[in-house]
Amino acid sequence: MKPNRSLTLFLMVFVVVAVLVAIQNMQPRVVAGPTPTPPDPQTFTDFTLNDIQAIRLRSPESNLTFDLARDANGLWTAPNATGTLNTTEANNIAKTMVLLPYSQTLTLKAGDDKKTYGFTPEGILVIEIVLQTGVTHAVEVGYRTPTQENYYALVDDRPDLYLLDRAPIDYIISRLKTPPVS
């Protein structure tokens, strides 16, 4: 009787282990680590890189201006600069305009003084974008926010104040101060 009892005990242990394995395989596996955060939304969604015909970067404070335009072949040129344009950098400027992320918008109330945000009357940087269709967009960039993570911005004739991500604006300011022309 002992051999049958051992066999029965062995079969019962085998069934329990098989059930445990089946249950474990049915449970979803959780991967440890942070949940990725979605990217910030884009300021403009009505054009792509290939739709841009020209870009003007302008500093009302220093009167610096840098223009980019596409020639008849669609290649970037710097019509008002002397020297050779770094077309990779020109393309990066245009890509920055297409992606231009913002973290949130603030609703301005009647009577809010825009000088508080760095618009006296214009901001520290004005970006003008001309599309091949003739449609234009304008971004006026004001001061940095108190956290230093964003810049205040007015976009086209939109009523809200945008908080643009700092890195792209710092990049554009650096390209205005040191144009990619050699």
Chain segment 102-148, per-residue pLDDT in tens: 999 999 888 888 999 999 889 999 999 999 999 999 999 999 999 99
Distance CA 38, CA 14 (A): 46
- pLDDT score of 16: 61
CATH number of 49-177: 2.60.40
- pLDDT score of 24: 60
Residues 28-72: tens digit of each pLDDT: 554 455 555 567 899 999 999 999 999 999 999 999 999 999 999
Distance CA 176, CA 182 (A): 14
- pLDDT score of 111: 81
Its pTM stands at 0.76
Instruction: Give the model's confidence band at 3: pLDDT under 50 very low, under 70 low, under 90 confident, else very high.
Output: low
- The amino acid occupying position 117 is Y
- For 165, the token pair is 């991500």
Distance CA 60, CA 146 (A): 22
Instruction: Give the model's confidence band at 149: pLDDT under 50 very low, under 70 low, under 90 confident, else very high.
Output: very high
Q: Which residue has the higher pLDDT, 23 or 147?
A: 147
Which class for 97: exposed (0-12), middle (13-18), buried (19 or more C-beta within 10 A)? Answer: buried
The sign of the CA dihedral 53, 95, 127, 45 is: positive
